[in-house]
Amino acid sequence: MFKKLTEQIQDFFGISRKEARGAIALMVLCALVIWFPFLFRRYILPLFPPGPAPLSEAKLDSIVADIETENKARFKEQKKKSRQQYEKPAKPAHLFAFDPNAATVEQLAELGIPMFLAKRIDKFRSKGGKFRKKEDLLHIYDFPPELFQKLVPFIEIKNNNTALTSKSNFSNAPENVNKAREGTRKFTPPVIASFDINTADTAQLVRLRGIGTKLSVRILKFRDALGGFHSKSQFAEIFGLDSIALGELDKYAVISTGVKRININTATAAELGSHSYMKNKKLVSVIINYRNQHGSFKNSADLRNVKILDEEQLRKIEPYLDY
């Protein structure tokens, strides 16, 4: 049969016997390829049992909710254990006279202050914070009032070689502490003159309450990236400044020097992106493309045509732009 089929193909196409055999093999291969999906589903697939049915969306949501609940419970338990271990004093409390502006973390912990509060006090001091009276210790977040009452007789805050004590009277304070309070000289703060914030250096800033070396450097970096302050309201945008530092800046810092402006029609993308209010690369790209397509900006009204800019962004960047 194969020989007869070979001869028929050879006579029909006028090809050699070898080519006819190759044609028959190719036709058989094509038939297998065409019929393989049917044969696979009909005879092979039934040999393998189907897996478990896919989970419904409701079942999946239920599993996710269970996992989240379990994770939250585990996180709370770990946090509770960590907090208990963190708050546990390393040694029994030992009371002695101390200055909260100078005591080390270990000394504060020895007084019975939880370690996390001792570290929080040290962090407050490292940022330039000062304790000027006993009650300032209560400004530390989470400081227990009952612990403060216990430590009051032993707090000795020294400034300019003078012990500054609280004005409040505590019934449990020793008589010698009250006598020392009566003999304390009145603290006279140094006189600070107003200065131009746009030309100031760190030496002028560190003289203000609540501003240490790190904060003064951060203020100058923020100012230089802006090109200068145009309003005192911008002080609140500086990260890390508390109400004391902001009050000092508002009191002594003045704005006498103008800001550095950027020409919106000639500035490159890099020049615009270097400004603190223009860090968004997409925003800078849209402004540059709009300028290239529509020509130079004549005023702020033209800049408002850039739809990606909202009124708040325009209000902030307008003082730094030239047209």
Per-residue pLDDT at 55: 60
User: Tokens in use for 223?
Assistant: 């100012």
pLDDT at 234: 92
pLDDT truncated to tens, each residue of the chain (323 aa)? Answer: 778 888 888 778 788 888 888 888 998 899 989 988 888 888 887 777 665 556 666 776 777 778 878 878 887 777 666 555 544 444 567 888 899 998 998 888 888 898 888 898 998 888 888 888 888 888 888 888 888 898 988 999 886 444 444 444 444 445 554 554 554 455 555 678 899 999 999 888 999 998 988 999 999 999 999 899 999 999 999 988 888 999 999 999 999 999 999 999 999 988 888 888 888 888 888 888 888 888 888 888 888 888 777 888 888 888 999 88
The residue written with tokens 């940022």 in the block is: 127
* DSSP element (H, E) containing 262: strand 262-263
Q: Which domain holds residue 149?
A: 105-182
Tell whether 222 and 166 lie within a shared domain: no
Helix (H) or strand (E) holding 163: strand 162-164
Q: Is 240 a domain residue? A: yes
Residues 170, 116 share a domain: yes
pLDDT for the residue numbered 40: 83
Q: Where are the alpha helices (DSSP H) in the chain?
A: 2-13, 17-39, 57-87, 105-110, 115-126, 145-151, 175-182, 202-205, 213-226, 243-252, 269-273, 281-294, 300-303, 311-317
Domain edge (last residue) among 254, 275, 294: 254
118 lies in the same domain as 174:
yes
In one-letter notation, the amino acid at residue 245 is A
* Domain CATH number, residue 249: 1.10.150
| Predicted pLDDT at 15 | 82
AA letter at 162:
T
In a domain, 80, yes or no: no
User: Is position 113 within any domain?
Assistant: yes
Q: In this structure, is residue 281 part of a structural domain? A: yes
Neighbours of 304 (CB within 10 A): 13
- The predicted pLDDT at position 301 comes to 84
Backbone angles phi, psi at 195, to 5 degrees: -145, 160
Find all residues with CB under 8 Å of 117, minimum gap 6, and list them: 108, 140, 142, 143
Question: Of 203, 181, 199, whose CA–CA distance to 257 is shortest?
Answer: 199
Asked if the structure places residue 300 within a domain, the reply is yes
The answer on 266 and 248 residing in a single domain is no
Domain count, the chain: 4
- Please indicate, yes or no, if residue 161 is contained in any of the structural domains: yes
CB neighbour list of residue 172: distance below 8 Å, 6 or more residues apart: 149, 152, 153
Which of 254, 280, 305 represents a domain boundary (last residue)? 254
How many angstroms separate the CA atoms of 190 and 104, rounded? 27
Q: Around Cβ 277, how many Cβ atoms within 10 Å?
A: 17
Burial 188-209 (b: 16+ CB within 10 A, else e): eeeeeeebebbebebebbebbe
Which amino acid is located at 6 in the chain?
T
Whole-prediction pTM: 0.42
SS3 38: helix
Please give the structure tokens belonging to residue 31. Answer: 């038939």
Question: Is residue 299 domain-resident?
Answer: yes
Last residue of a domain, one of 205, 227, 254: 254
Structure-block tokens of residue 221: 């970096």
Q: Could you tell me if 175 and 127 lie in one domain?
A: yes
Do 172 and 109 have their domain in common? Answer: yes
- Burial zone of 157 (CB within 10 Å; 0-12 exposed, 13-18 middle, 19+ buried): buried
- Per residue, the 3-state secondary structure of 273-293, as one string, reads HCCHHHCCHHHHHHHHHHHHH
Residue 295, domain member (yes or no)? yes
